[in-house]
Amino acid sequence: MILKLEYFYYVLGAMLLLVSYMSLTDQHNPRRYSSALFWALYAVVYLAGEQLPPVAAGVLMVVMALIAGFGGVALGRYGDRTQEERKGSAQRLGHRLLIPALIIPATTVIGSTLLKDVHLGGLLLLLDPKNATLVSLGCGSLFAVATACWLTRSTPMQAMRESRRLIDHLGWAVVLPHMLAVLGLLFTEAGMGKAVAHVVTSYINLDVRLVAVAVYCIGMALFTVIMGNGFAAFPVIAGGVGIPVLVGVYHANPAVMAAIGMFSAYCGTLMTPMAANFNIVPAALLELPDKNAVVKIQVGTALPLLLANIVLLYFLMNM
C-alpha cells in the first residue's frame, strides 16, 4: 500500500463538506445557504476533481466566483470560549502549545528525506515517491491535529469547529491560490510565455548576463504583484525568460533557476494586496485599521530579498 496525495485530497474534501453542513445549519449565519453552497462546491473539486469534465470544473469555479463576488460567503457563530477561558487554557498548557505546530515541519522533513524510499519486505512503499514532501506534510498535519486534541483534551469535532471558524474568516481568499495557479497554467497554454519573451527580447538587451538574471527575478516579482500568486507567475516568466534565455543561452542549472525564481516570486507576494489570503486576511483577523498595513511593512523585507536573489542566481546558476 502506498500513501498517495489523493488520499489527502479526499480528507480535505470531507472537511469542506462538513464545513458546508455546519454553515447550512448555523442559524446565525445571514448567508448560510450561499455559504454552504460555496464550500460544498469547493469540496467537489477535491473529491471528484479528476473525474470532473473540464467544462464542468470551469462552470463550478465560475459559480463559486459569483457567490463570493456577490457577498454570499459570510461569517456565522462558532461557540467561541470567553477571553478568560482561553487565557486559562494557554497558561495551563504553556509552551506545549507549540508542539502541534512543530510536528508538521518535523514530519515533513523526516518523511521527505528519510522515508521517501523505504520499503517493507520489498513490497510496501510507504510514501508516494512522486509527492513525498506533500504526503509527508499531510501526515504531519493529521498528527498535529491528533496531538492538539490530546493536549487540550478536545474532540475531533471541536477541531472541525475551529477549522470552520478559520476558514470562514479567510472566506473566499482560501480559494484564491488554487484559482491563480490554474490561471498561470491557462496563460502558459495561451502563449503568454512566448509573448513575454518577445517583448523582453525586443526592448531589453539580454546579452549581458546580469541584465538577463535581473529581468528574470524582477519579472517574477512584478508578475506575482499583478497576479497575487507566485505559482501563476512562474510558468509565464520561466517559459518566457528562464528556459529560453537563462537555460538556453547561459546554460543555467534548471533546478537553481527554478528555485531562486520562485523565491523571487515570493518577494512579489509580500508586496501585493492581490495575495489577499497572505496580506489582507491577516490584517482583517488582527482588526488592523489599515487593511494594507501588512503589505507596507513587508516591502522593506521584500526588496532586499529580491536583490539577494538576483545576486545568488548570478553566481549560482551554473552550479
Which residues on neighbouring strands pair with residue 127, listed in sequence order? 3
Q: Which of 127-136, 191-200, 220-229 has the lowest mean pLDDT?
A: 191-200
Hey, CA dihedral for 241, 223, 42, 294, is it positive or negative?
Answer: positive
- List CB contacts of 199: < 8 A, sequence separation 6 or more: none
Q: For the residues 26-45, what does the mean pLDDT come to?
A: 91
| Segment 110-119, tens digit of pLDDT | 888 877 766 6
Question: Where are the extended beta strands (E) located within the chain?
Answer: 119-120, 124-125
Which is nearest to 174 in space by CA: 226, 229, 233, 108? Answer: 229
Q: Where would I find the H helices in 238-318? A: 254-270, 276-279, 281-285, 293-316
pLDDT score at 146: 93
**Cα distance between residue 250 and residue 205, in whole Å:** 14
pLDDT score at 119: 63
| Segment 117-135, tens digit of pLDDT | 666 555 556 777 788 888 8
Would the pLDDT of 298 be above 70? Answer: yes
Specify whether the CB–CB gap between 265 and 224 falls below 8 A: yes
| Segment 48-96, tens digit of pLDDT | 878 888 888 889 989 998 998 888 888 887 766 667 777 777 788 788 8
| Segment 134-172, tens digit of pLDDT | 888 999 999 999 999 998 888 888 888 888 888 887 788
pLDDT score at 229: 78
More confident residue, 92 or 105: 105
| Segment 254-278, tens digit of pLDDT | 999 999 999 999 999 999 988 877 8
Mean pLDDT of the chain: 86
pLDDT score at 124: 52
Domain positions in the chain: 1-173, 176-316
